[in-house]
DNA sequence: ACCTGAACACCGTTCAAGT
DNA sequence: ACCTGAACACCGTTCAAGT
């Protein structure tokens, strides 16, 4: 299906799709503007009529993936509110994005950076964050926001640890480590409530 | 103090020092081989007689910083074995390295990657890891290795969270979040012991 | 208006020549 | 042996010309 001359919306999608294909295949070094152009079936210069820099293309690719991430968490939350199950699901989705995008992940950050985000995505992220906060609150957190900061750090850290060679250090699987971390937090939060 | 013609050891140090100066000033984009040569007072081609690629120079710069990191933790451990104090100190040192080197940090990974590490550094890292493990054990961990994995994730995650714009999301300082996380773990580990 | 691709700029790497 | 720096290769970005 050929994108028509002048169809800016379809052209933009073609470019982002071509970028993600290269990126998924061989990482950031493979994201070369000449290859993007080739994948999108256009000339090199045309890519720059849609994205003024390589970095802005990367940002668009990232936004596309973020949308999928938030959608996945929403689906999990629709099915359960068990702390451990939700923690493992969120951490696992996060890890998958981390593998691709690395340290610059801004997943679920409703405040966001300097650029205005798609409002629909923004609202979805805020909703997800509030739902997660509710689960933490029911687990006994005295200061749910501070607990969320700690929990979110655990998610980031597990992804970081199991994404490098470092994880070969110990014998624990992703699932074991993630579930154990969830239980440790539940126990710690229960201690806050009861202690 | 001019490095003498043929003094390979001093020359190597000059190059690594020049690289770190550029890197600290303006990050990875500023680490350009021409600039490294200029900073080390040698010709461009000479850099390649010491480091076959830019990546290998980067690895040497990283090893130099890792040595400082391990030395700092050892000093902390010599002064105290209080869980919270040690956790905050380790997390803070880790964060400082994370700011510079990002997701590729392999700090305190005694097994290491493919390249053989300096044996002295290796031994120091193993010693530090064992000492930290002892503290976790005394805090009540039933499976200290699994707890270390979770704790180490917390360190990584806190660094990750407070190193991006994401940390502007909430009102908590590095110190608050780090201390709270330490206490949550202590409470969780005590639950393992007593529960 | 939108698209093209040759040309430019920049930077990692090489290698024949210098001491 | 060690060092030099001009030359090459690669890739992000621009812009005058094409439809």
Q: For the segment A71-114, what is each residue's pLDDT rounded down to a tens digit? A: 999 999 999 999 999 999 999 999 999 888 875 555 554 434 44
Model confidence at B106, in pLDDT bands (50, 70, 90)?
low
| More confident site: A179 or A110 | A179
Average pLDDT along chain A? 88
- Cβ contact B29 with chain D strand, < 7 A: no
At residue A171, the pLDDT reads 74
CA distance A120 to A127: 11
Query: Which of A168, A23, A161, A172 minimizes the C-alpha distance to A94?
Result: A161
Distance in angstroms: CA A33, C1' D14 = 14
B90 vs B92: CA distance, rounded Å: 5
pTM above 0.95, yes or no: no
- What Å value separates CA B35 and C1' C10? 13
Q: Which nucleotide is nearest to B48 (CA to C1')?
A: C13
pLDDT for res B111: 38
The region that residue B5 occupies, defined by phi over 0 for left and psi between -120 and 50 for alpha, beta otherwise, is beta
Give the CA-to-C1' distance from B101 to D13 in angstroms. 28
Q: Average per-residue pLDDT in chain B?
A: 88
- Chain A contact for B4 (CB, 8 A cutoff): no
Q: Over the stretch A109-136, which tens digit does the pLDDT of each residue have?
A: 443 444 556 788 888 888 999 999 999 9
A37 pLDDT band, cuts 50/70/90, is very high
Size of chain A in residues = 195
Place of tokens 């299906």: A1
- Chain Cα centroid distance, residue B36: 23
Residues 87-106 of A with CB under 8 A from B: 102-106
**Over the Cα atoms of chain A, what is R_g?**
20
Which pLDDT score is estimated for A114? 43
| pLDDT tens column, A145-168 | 999 989 999 998 999 888 875 555
What sign results for the dihedral spanned by CA atoms A167, A171, A177, A183? negative
Check CB contact under 8 Å for A176 and B103: no
Q: State yes or no: pLDDT of B169 exceeds 80.
A: no
Strand C contacted by A34 CB (< 7 A): no
- Name the token pair of B46: 């000479």
Arithmetic mean of pLDDT, B109-138: 78
Q: What is the pLDDT of residue B194?
A: 84
């Amino acid at each position: 299906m050929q994108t028509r001359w002048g169809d800016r919306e379809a052209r933009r999608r073609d470019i982002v799709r071509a970028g993600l294909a290269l990126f998924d295949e061989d990482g950031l070094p493979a994201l070369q503007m000449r290859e993007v152009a080739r994948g999108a079936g256009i000339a090199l210069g045309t890519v720059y009529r849609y994205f003024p820099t390589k970095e802005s293309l990367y940002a668009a690719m990232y936004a596309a993936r973020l949308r999928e991430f938030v959608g996945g968490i929403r689906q999990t939350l629709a099915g359960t509110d068990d702390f451990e199950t939700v923690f493992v699901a969120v951490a696992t989705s996060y890890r998958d994005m981390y593998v691709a995008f690395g340290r610059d992940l801004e997943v679920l950050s409703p405040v966001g950076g300097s650029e205005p985000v798609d409002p629909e995505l923004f609202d979805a992220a805020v909703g997800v964050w509030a739902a997660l906060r509710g689960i933490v609150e029911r687990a006994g957190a005295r200061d749910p926001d501070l607990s969320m900061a700690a929990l979110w750090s655990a998610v980031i850290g597990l992804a970081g640890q199991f994404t490098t060679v470092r994880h070969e250090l110990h014998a624990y699987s992703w699932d074991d480590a993630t579930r154990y971390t969830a239980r440790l937090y539940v126990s710690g939060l229960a201690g806050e409530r009861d202690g």
